[in-house]
Amino acid sequence: MADLLELFPADSGLDDDGTVLIGGCRADDLAAEFGTPVLVVAEDALRARAREYIDGMATRWPNSRVVFASKAFPCTAVQRVMVDEGLGLDVAGGGEILTALKAGVDPAQVVLHGNAKTDEEIRIAVEHRLGLVVVDNANDVDRLEATLPDGAAQDVLVRILPGVTADTHSHVLTGNEGSKFGLPEPAARPVIRRIERSPKLRMQGLHVHIGSQIMDLEPFTESVARVVRLGEFPVYDLGGGLGARYTWSDRPPAVADYLDAVAAAAREHLPADAQIIIEPGRSVVASTAVTLYRVVTVKPGAITFVAVDGGMGDNLEVALFGQRFEAGIVGRFSGSEAQRVTVVGRHCESGDVLVDATDLPSPTVGDLLAVPATGAYCYTMANNYNGTRRIPVVLARAGAARLVVRRETWDDLTARDVD
């Protein structure tokens, strides 16, 4: 457990009494001020990770863009940090478009995805003149042409299904045969020809994305080799998907190694003057946030259950696709009396498990529990199961913390009722 700090944001540390510091703020002070559960983002760590991507890509392929995959953490304040650091934003729905615009992004730096874009989302994209719309199917072409006024034109990419199967959970696999995303090569060709003939659409290039939480570089390079078979274009969006470290056993490739591999594949297969876009998400934000919980009950038995005041309402990744997390008691990450426990949530589901079979030193009701690496998809998939209120988000930096998303109120739970 002494090594748990390795999984915290890069600038974390321990205060003199062993209390963990997140963005220079004591975890117990954060819990006292904002309550629990609370999602704490170390802002400097977030900014550093964003710069690592944008600077690294610029040195390897000058004609490049990095767009943050907003779906990983579509909080306006997080999107604003990305914009501040020079990243564009990849959005996958109308709500993400609107929060991106509120965050101050240049619409020209927005890439819109989606396998089932609605008429309303297409209208929003056209009205705000988003830079690129990724065509996932022929119906996207129909909607765009019907929505764009005469004399207007929209730059588009066509999403290709490369038939590459990465070693990751099936729920986050998107480049394999049978995926709902993109078009296989035979189906893509007529869509590309149609766009090239369209008076309202400008065919800019191709898009490929093979999935998420990928720990091997080969699938990324293989997808580049596959996409080139459809011809040469000005733009190639190579997606994202690099894995993040959640546990001690995780060993994702370094960002530098990932960028080396992508740039090498681009030099081998793509036109030298093409613009390359990448869309990192999970690997940007996962390690930059920590969720703090309060222990509510400790139930000894064949399995000792340590239950906290949150769970699958604020972290659905475990129940959805078995993601492993680690946890520690604030103030005593290590101890001679550690016991094997399972950390569970407060929701009425047996699948509401946060950390299965972990060692905690003498867990007690009232303890503050920290779960690191919760920056990706936890906020995204937060829900109101059992009438739970969604938790706040706090940005911590240089010892100061600021609330950027408030905790829901009880009134919020009924605010949409009409009767």
3-state secondary structure of 174: coil
The domain boundary, picked from 228, 261, 284, lies at: 284
Question: Does some domain include residue 417?
Answer: no
For the domain that residue 366 is a member of, what is the CATH number?
2.40.37.10
Tokens of 20: 């963990």
Tokens of 311: 């769970």
Q: Which residues form the domain of 386?
A: 2-42+286-407
Per-position DSSP letters for 350-364, written without gaps between them: TT-EEEEEEEEES--
Q: Quick one: 137 and 152 in the same domain?
A: yes
Question: Does some domain include residue 415?
Answer: no
Predicted confidence at residue 214, as pLDDT, reads 86
Chain segment 263-313, per-residue pLDDT in tens: 999 999 999 999 999 999 999 999 999 999 999 999 999 999 999 999 999
- Would you call 348 a catalytic residue per the annotation? yes
The domain boundary, picked from 284, 309, 344, lies at: 284
The C-alpha atoms of residue 365 and residue 135 are separated, in whole angstroms, by: 52
Residue spans of beta strands (DSSP E) within 310-410: 328-329, 338-344, 353-361, 368-372, 393-397, 400-405
Q: What is the CA radius of gyration of the chain?
A: 22
The C-alpha atoms of residue 409 and residue 143 are separated, in whole angstroms, by: 39
User: Among 25, 75, 348, 378, which one carries the catalytic annotation?
Assistant: 348
> Would the pLDDT of 165 be above 70?
no
> Which pLDDT band holds residue 335 (cuts at 50, 70, 90)?
low
Lowest mean pLDDT among 92-106, 175-189, 302-316: 175-189
Q: Quick one: 224 and 264 in the same domain?
A: yes
The C-alpha atoms of residue 230 and residue 109 are separated, in whole angstroms, by: 25
The domain boundary, picked from 284, 310, 332, lies at: 284
Q: Quick one: 280 and 305 in the same domain?
A: no
Rounded to the nearest integer, the mean pLDDT of the chain is 93
Max distance between CA atoms of the chain, in angstroms, equals: 73
Predicted confidence at residue 163, as pLDDT, reads 67
> Would the pLDDT of 176 be above 70?
no
Amino acid at 213: Q
Q: HSE (CB half, 13 Å, CA atoms) of 364?
A: 8
Number of domains in the chain: 2
Q: Give percent above pLDDT 70 in the chain.
A: 95
The C-alpha atoms of residue 410 and residue 268 are separated, in whole angstroms, by: 57
Q: Quick one: 187 and 293 in the same domain?
A: no
For the domain that residue 238 is a member of, what is the CATH number?
3.20.20.10
3-state secondary structure of 227: helix
Predicted confidence at residue 172, as pLDDT, reads 44
> Would the pLDDT of 355 be above 80?
yes
Q: Quick one: 124 and 221 in the same domain?
A: yes
Helix (H) or strand (E) holding 21: strand 20-22
Chain segment 44-57, per-residue pLDDT in tens: 999 999 999 999 99
